[in-house]
Structure 1
């Protein structure tokens, strides 16, 4: 029986809107453990990483918000993920804002040296302190994970980069800052915007992504799923909604095809904000998508 270990990461320090720290609770409330157990998995819910908020600040040198607290929390999450990987269990992390990916990837890549990453998101999260319009770390985790930006973020775990740019695929992008656009071109990062999704369809994009990773010889694939990748019509409870996004059905198809590929070796679902939600619609959607990722089918 396959083992799944759930780690809650109630982080809201990577951005300014309160409420996303309750995301793990909202996803649990939608019965994620029962859903996975009913599909034949052994599930161990490890509870939440304890996020301190002793001192919230903006770093005077870099303009980054809550740098010290995010670094500390990322190191805690990294250690939890390492423990899960050592136990040969599948790490499933529930966010929290998207800055948590820094800690997740630091833990996963201690065990997978050529990791592929699917970044399912309306945003690129490729800002550095120089390009960020806000100083919010939830706009920086992918840049930090490929070794760019603030050293305290890039060097978590004692090594950098965690992931090579050629092993990253962004899906669903429709809101990119100028600095991110330049970085994508400079590093040759593969990005499927909503234009490509509309034009060729989600099935073609996921099939191309699977083939791309196989050709690159990755030793595992991490799925980093930001619920704002979906259109706010379907996922209203997110902190930075962007109109014109992925439909519920397209997202389920993506998860189903990834399940069939058996390539996904770790995953996180982030940016669920129940304060902005409608009767836990987004938390429930996160659970439904997790179900599809782990093999649920209509028939």
Structure 2
């Protein structure tokens, strides 16, 4: 398979800091080589430094989304499958736009479905899924080339074991399909019934059980072990038309033994193999 590995090394508007170091660490850990050994042709494309915004979180975050949308669109035009390595989850909005995706599967420890009105901390990345669903930051999101908000009925949120009270209230009012990892294979049928044709798969790596794989400082107890996540992601690839993948939120400062990159390599290889068997 031809793959475009699109690298967006930003965390809250800052380049190559915090989670922004994660994409390069995954590459240094052999992700491209692992895919090449499995027979895939991988082209690495890095998002250029966003200039003139002085590391402002909101403006830079959406500027990164615009740049990602353009690179993803170019990837599609060249016949490559886009995999975005991102610091922040918001970057998925750019991938959605570039892929013209009409549906979304979101694996995450968190809901990321706060809005500016409900967020207890004002953390932009905690509003990433809400932005993708058109619930907030609409003028900024609509400025991303090709962006169309995903219908909540065409979204499946997997795990989300660490939700704020207002997130729980909002989710209860929406037709979002909420599943545990071990339920994903069964509940994806509800997503298919919604009539999806182009699905983006987002995996925040802190969905993992931190006792098995620690990826950042926010990891809370629970979640799947790596093998279970691999199987769930592969099931999604076999079940719905996946048009792109985002991997986010890896902070190598919390991975002293370098355990995350090889696990991510196994995850991506299994996922791509499942897509090829369709």
TM-score, reference length from structure 1 = 0.84
1:258 equivalent in structure 2: 236
Answer yes or no: is the 8 Å Cα contact 2:185–2:236 preserved in 1.
yes
Deviations 1:105-128 (A, max 9, x none): 22222xx4xx22110001111111
Q: 2:201 aligns with which of 223, 232, 235?
A: 223
1:35 equivalent in structure 2: 34
Which structure 2 residues correspond to residues 1-299 of structure 1 after superposition, within 5 A? Answer: 2-13=1-12, 18-52=17-51, 54-57=53-56, 66-109=57-100, 112=101, 115-157=102-144, 161-193=148-180, 197=181, 202=182, 204-209=183-188, 211-261=189-239, 263-295=241-273
Cα distance change on mapping 1:283 and 1:215 into 2, 3 Å: same
Answer yes or no: is the 8 Å Cα contact 2:208–2:214 preserved in 1.
no
- Structure-2 separation of matches of 1:272 and 1:100: 14
Cα distance change on mapping 1:178 and 1:255 into 2, 3 Å: same
- Structure 1 residue 284, shift from structure 2 partner: 2.4
Cα distance change on mapping 1:29 and 1:262 into 2, 3 Å: farther
Cα distance change on mapping 1:154 and 1:148 into 2, 3 Å: farther
Bigger mean CA deviation after superposition, 117-126 or 180-189: 180-189
- Structure 1 residue 215, shift from structure 2 partner: 1.8
Gaps of 5+ in 1: 58-65
Answer yes or no: is the 8 Å Cα contact 1:56–1:69 preserved in 2.
yes
- Structure 1 residue 272, shift from structure 2 partner: 0.7
Answer yes or no: is the 8 Å Cα contact 2:97–2:144 preserved in 1.
yes
Cα distance change on mapping 1:46 and 1:52 into 2, 3 Å: same
Cα distance change on mapping 1:237 and 1:246 into 2, 3 Å: same
- Structure-2 separation of matches of 1:24 and 1:11: 9
User: What value does the CA root-mean-square deviation take over the aligned residues?
Assistant: 2.2
| Count of equivalent residues | 273
- Structure 1 residue 279, shift from structure 2 partner: 2.3
- Structure-2 separation of matches of 1:106 and 1:132: 25
Answer yes or no: is the 8 Å Cα contact 1:102–1:153 preserved in 2.
no
- Structure 1 residue 10, shift from structure 2 partner: 0.3
- Structure 1 residue 14, shift from structure 2 partner: 6.0
1:60 equivalent in structure 2: none
Deviations 1:71-104 (A, max 9, x none): 2221111111111122221110001121211222
- Structure 1 residue 158, shift from structure 2 partner: 5.8
Bigger mean CA deviation after superposition, 81-90 or 121-130: 81-90
- Structure 1 residue 183, shift from structure 2 partner: 1.7
Answer yes or no: is the 8 Å Cα contact 2:106–2:156 preserved in 1.
yes
- Structure-2 separation of matches of 1:217 and 1:8: 31
